[in-house]
Amino acid sequence: MKPLSRLLALSGAGGLAGAFLVGGPIGLVGGLLLGGFADEVYSRASVKKIGVRPPPPGFGAGPTATGLRAGERLARGQQIASPSGAFFLTLDQEGELAVLTSGYQPVWAAGIAGQGGVVATMQRDGALVVLGPDRAVVWSSGTSGPGNRLTVHDDGNLVVYSSMGIPAWQSNTAQA
């Protein structure tokens, strides 16, 4: 078990609904979306924070349910699923940013495996970037505009939307 991490178990009407390593990626269990910190629990229906303990000072925001908003990030090994869970975005252990099916079949990749990517971030300037350990940009969507957001869609398409809801960049991987 990693230091500062602990196992969090949730019980539901039918017994144990699931367990998560607190401090790890978000996950959906029994209709609840768990964040990376203990006491962060979201109702999937309302996406309303129920109990919140603020993150440690200097710790960046984590991913939302189906994408990233400005200032949020995806660390190596974390995943962001599409609403149905049919597809997910991940930054794998080799630093590759990729969209995979729920069966782990690749749909899209940035083509940066082995280049040192350690975190994918939706920057406040509107660019989706993968950063290396020295904070240098390894890959960028080339987008700009405050309020941009990234969404993983149920058809496998990865889209950066402008604040007006217009696609600014996409992976063009929509599956029929």
What domains sit in the chain, N to C, each tagged with a CATH number?
Answer: 1-59 (no CATH), 62-176 (2.90.10.10)
Q: Cα separation of 167 and 3, whole Å?
A: 41
pLDDT value, residue 66:
86
Give the predicted TM-score (pTM) of the model.
0.64
Buried b (16+ CB within 10 A) or exposed e, 71-99: ebbbbeebbbbbeeebbbbbbbeebbbbb
DSSP 117: -
pLDDT averaged over every residue in the chain: 73
List, edge to edge, every strand of the sheet that includes 137-140: 73-75, 119-122, 128-131, 137-140
| Lowest model confidence (mean pLDDT) among 46-55, 81-90, 149-158 | 46-55
Tell me the HSE value of 151 on the side-chain side, using a 13 A CA sphere.
17
Buried b (16+ CB within 10 A) or exposed e, 101-132: eeeeeebbebebeeeebbbbbbbeebbbbbbb
Q: Percent of the chain having pLDDT more than 70?
A: 62
pLDDT value, residue 62:
42
Q: Return the amino acid letter for 69.
A: R
pLDDT value, residue 65:
65
| 44 within 8 A of 28, measured Cβ to Cβ | yes
Q: 């020295």: which residue's tokens?
A: 134
* Beta pairing partners, 27: 34
pLDDT value, residue 147:
93
